[in-house]
């Protein structure tokens, strides 16, 4: 199996008129419909980004986004922002039960949401001190700072974290 090339800082990546990312490889081969994928989206979002072709095969590896020229970095960050959609929970409004499964009504940075917490393992602590909550449909919600939550939200959440 051939090694995946690490892309140099002069990465030739652009968005075509149809809005798709296009990568021109060092050998001149043009790949349309490239998707950037973070290797470590939670613990090291700036490190390790794979550029994957429409067939699912990795075309290139980027060690650090910060090493790229500004226009290319911004293009990739825009694309990754869409892919890494994870609403931030600002407040817990109501929980149906303090045992799982439990339905949560929350206020997020994207508006109100209702999520199903199937098991307590669906709440993961993150290296930055936040939490990642995965609902029954596989959607991810983040709580960046437990201390920033209001007292009632922290009290409800503490029942699940104990």
* pLDDT computed for residue 96 by the predictor: 96
The tokens for 107 are: 């206020």
User: For the chain, how far is it from start to end, CA to CA, in angstroms?
Assistant: 47
Give the predicted TM-score (pTM) of the model: 0.60
The closest alpha carbon to 81, from 20, 21, 36, belongs to: 36
Kindly state the tokens that stand for 122: 């669906």
> What does the pLDDT look like over 44-101, one tens digit per residue?
888 999 999 989 899 999 999 999 999 999 999 988 887 777 899 999 999 999 999 9
Predicted confidence (pLDDT) per residue in 28-37, tens digit: 899 999 999 9
pLDDT surpasses 80 at 21: yes
Which residue from 67, 74, 34 is spatially nearest to 50, judged by alpha carbons? 34
């Amino acid at each position: 199996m051939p090694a995946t090339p690490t892309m140099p800082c002069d990465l030739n990546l652009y968005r075509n008129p149809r809005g798709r990312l296009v990568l021109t490889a060092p050998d001149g081969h043009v790949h349309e419909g490239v998707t950037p994928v973070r290797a470590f989206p939670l613990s090291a979002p700036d490190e390790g980004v794979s550029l994957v072709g429409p067939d699912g095969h990795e075309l290139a590896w980027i060690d650090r986004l910060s090493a790229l020229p500004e226009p290319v970095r911004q293009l990739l960050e825009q694309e990754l922002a869409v892919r890494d959609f994870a609403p931030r929970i600002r407040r817990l409004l109501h929980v149906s039960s303090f045992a799982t499964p439990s339905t949560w009504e929350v206020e997020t940075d994207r508006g109100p949401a209702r999520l199903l917490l199937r098991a307590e393992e669906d709440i993961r602590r993150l290296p930055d001190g936040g939490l990642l909550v995965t609902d029954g449909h596989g959607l991810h919600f983040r709580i960046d700072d437990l201390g920033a939550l209001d007292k009632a939200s922290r009290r409800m959440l503490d029942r699940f974290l104990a």
